Amino acid sequence: MTTQTTPQTQAILHILYALLGISVVLFVISMLFGGVVTLWISPVTTLLAMVYSSTVLVLNYKRRNDAASFPTVERIPAIFFPFFFAVAYLAAICVAIVVVVHIAAQLEGTADSLGVSLPDSARSGYIVCGFAIAEIVLMVVQVGLLTSVGALGLKERKAATTRGLGATKA
């Protein structure tokens, strides 16, 4: 017997696909400077988020015929890990903001002492700041997507409990 997929579960799956796509872009940007802008928090979290998304999508596909238990997106680990990753991304955002402010302050001092023309080293600082800001924006998007996955999964789990699914399996 095939389980009926709810619109909220479909929304979670679509968000997971988006999360997977954005994770690839975020990982590439983060690795351009060896992950040092976020002290390796972003690349590690991004890889773990990619593994999480892939695992949930594959398990959801494999368990689609199991009508007796919760769908994969409504299980406790599938709800916990998005919140955990969102907190890790928030830490990475804080670190990246400190790095950007520090580099920008150094660039401002360089620009003031040199006048209007900046040396190549200062221009590379602007490039680092630009990529760091892009990384921050993508991490903010990831936090929003991960929080949505966790919140929707929790909501779906509560709804499934009231429908009587998963009474013995979590």
Question: Can you give the residue range of the structural domain that contains 105?
Answer: 7-162
Q: Is residue 169 one of the residues assigned to a domain?
A: no
The pLDDT of residue 105 = 77
CA distance linking residue 49 with residue 1, whole number of Å: 31
Residue 25 has pLDDT above 90, yes or no: yes
The pLDDT of residue 134 = 96
Q: Is residue 168 one of the residues assigned to a domain?
A: no
Q: Is residue 2 one of the residues assigned to a domain?
A: no
Q: Is residue 126 one of the residues assigned to a domain?
A: yes
Number of domains in the chain: 1
pTM, rounded to two decimals:
0.85
Residue 168 has pLDDT above 50, yes or no: no
Q: Is residue 170 one of the residues assigned to a domain?
A: no
Which amino acid would we find at residue 54? S
Q: Is residue 60 one of the residues assigned to a domain?
A: yes
The predicted-structure confidence for 29-60, as pLDDT tens digits, reads as follows 999 888 988 999 999 999 999 999 999 999 88
When pLDDT is cut at 50, 70 and 90, the band that residue 116 belongs to is very low
Q: Is residue 167 one of the residues assigned to a domain?
A: no
CA distance linking residue 163 with residue 73, whole number of Å: 16
Q: How many helices (H) and strands (E) does the chain have?
A: 4, 0
List for the chain the helix, strand, coil content (%; round to 5): 80, 0, 20
Q: Is residue 96 one of the residues assigned to a domain?
A: yes
